[in-house]
Amino acid sequence: MEKRKKVLTGLQPTGVITLGNYIGAIKQMVQYQDEYESYIFVADMHAITVPQDNKALHENIKSLIALYLACGIKPEKNTIFIQSENEYHANLSWLLECNTYFGELSRMHQFKEKSKKSENFTAGLFTYPALMAADILLYDIDYVPVGIDQKQHVELTRDLAQRFNNKYGETFVVPEPLITVTGTKIMDLVNPDKKMSKSAENPKGVIKLLEDSESIRKKIMSATTDSETLVKYNPETKPGISNLINIYSALTDKKIPEIEEKFASSNYGTFKREVADVVIEEIEKIQEKYREYIESSKLDDILDEGREKTRKIAKAKWEEVRSKMGIGR
């Protein structure tokens, strides 16, 4: 029998999980879990590359696991774990850092953007992509479902894998990013030229997965559009409407031309109302399940199992890499 392909993704437990995170990463994982051997984790060591409130961070970690389950990630089909509970992520990250060029890390868009926000950014923020490469390369992952903002990091992971394989012999599987056509980048509802982001200045532009329905409806109804009245997809000239079309498409699985046709004679108010209905229906289902899971003692069992399984796999890969690099006994 042919070996099943492997997928992996991670999210940072930064409290606010957005509709963008859901469409860009979690929903994709739910779609792939039947077909592929799936790994999903909480990237808590990535979260500490910028300042965090330690108490809030601690709570957000379990909350994110409960949210994964509520979104439809099935424990029997996924290996679910917390990054910091598996020391081989940091261990391999160091070995990879010593095979990564300063210039490569300097060119990462996310680093350039985030380092602008503070004079005292950390060394961890700079080496962040090497840790992300370790997350992926430890498990021989074939596909990495992410939003387009993470594509450059997966491409660097590919480069590092190829470089290592060329120098030391076949060691790593070279992974590919998986980016959905419509979920590529969900934009901010107020400033549709910016991505919907946890750290947006104006909270009106961001839909959170744990937000109440009334507030979601208000945000969608007042989303920025344009001076026309035509529901037509054109991200350049109609970024606001195109973003709502993308959201609608991602949640209903309808193709863009089909949506344009369906709303051909609707005004923006009618279209927005339907988008709000679809988003709220999806999010209410998630929230109901979230409340069950967050109270459940099963979370610890799932995480214990994930930790044991991933540590075994990761240890073997790390030892292989270490020995090929010539360090240790």
Residues in contact with ligand TYM by the rule CB under 6 A: 8-12, 20-21, 23-25, 43, 46, 132, 135-136, 144, 146-147, 149-150, 183, 185-186, 195-196
In angstroms, rounded to a whole number, what is the distance separating the alpha carbons of residues 31 and 23? Answer: 11
In angstroms, rounded to a whole number, what is the distance separating the alpha carbons of residues 30 and 257? Answer: 25
CA distances in angstroms from 132 to 45, 148, 182, 273, listed in the order given: 10, 15, 24, 39
Smallest separation, CB 317 to ligand TYM (Å) = 15
According to DSSP, residue 235 is labeled T
Please pick, among 198, 254, 315, 324, the residue that the annotation labels catalytic.
198
Q: Which is nearer to ligand TYM, 203 or 269 (CB)?
A: 203
Q: Which is nearer to ligand TYM, 198 or 262 (CB)?
A: 198
Smallest separation, CB 185 to ligand TYM (Å) = 5
Please pick, among 5, 62, 77, 114, the residue that the annotation labels catalytic.
114
Q: Which is nearer to ligand TYM, 31 or 266 (CB)?
A: 31
Alpha carbon 316 to its chain's center? 26
Catalytic site residue 198?
Answer: yes
DSSP strands (E only) in the chain: 6-11, 37-42, 78-82, 143-145, 176-178
* Cβ atoms < 10 Å from Cβ of 260: 15
In angstroms, rounded to a whole number, what is the distance separating the alpha carbons of residues 246 and 235? Answer: 10
Smallest separation, CB 167 to ligand TYM (Å) = 23
Amino acid letter for position 106: S
Residue nearest to ligand TYM (CB): 24
Parallel, antiparallel, or unpaired for β 6-11 and 37-42? parallel
Smallest separation, CB 266 to ligand TYM (Å) = 25
Please pick, among 6, 27, 185, 195, the residue that the annotation labels catalytic.
195
CA distances in angstroms from 244 to 19, 229, 259, listed in the order given: 12, 14, 11
Catalytic site residue 289?
Answer: no
Phi first, then psi, for residue 237 (nearest 5°) are -95, -20
Q: Which is nearer to ligand TYM, 178 or 321 (CB)?
A: 178
Q: Which is nearer to ligand TYM, 156 or 303 (CB)?
A: 156
Smallest separation, CB 11 to ligand TYM (Å) = 4
Which residues are known to be catalytic? 114, 195, 198
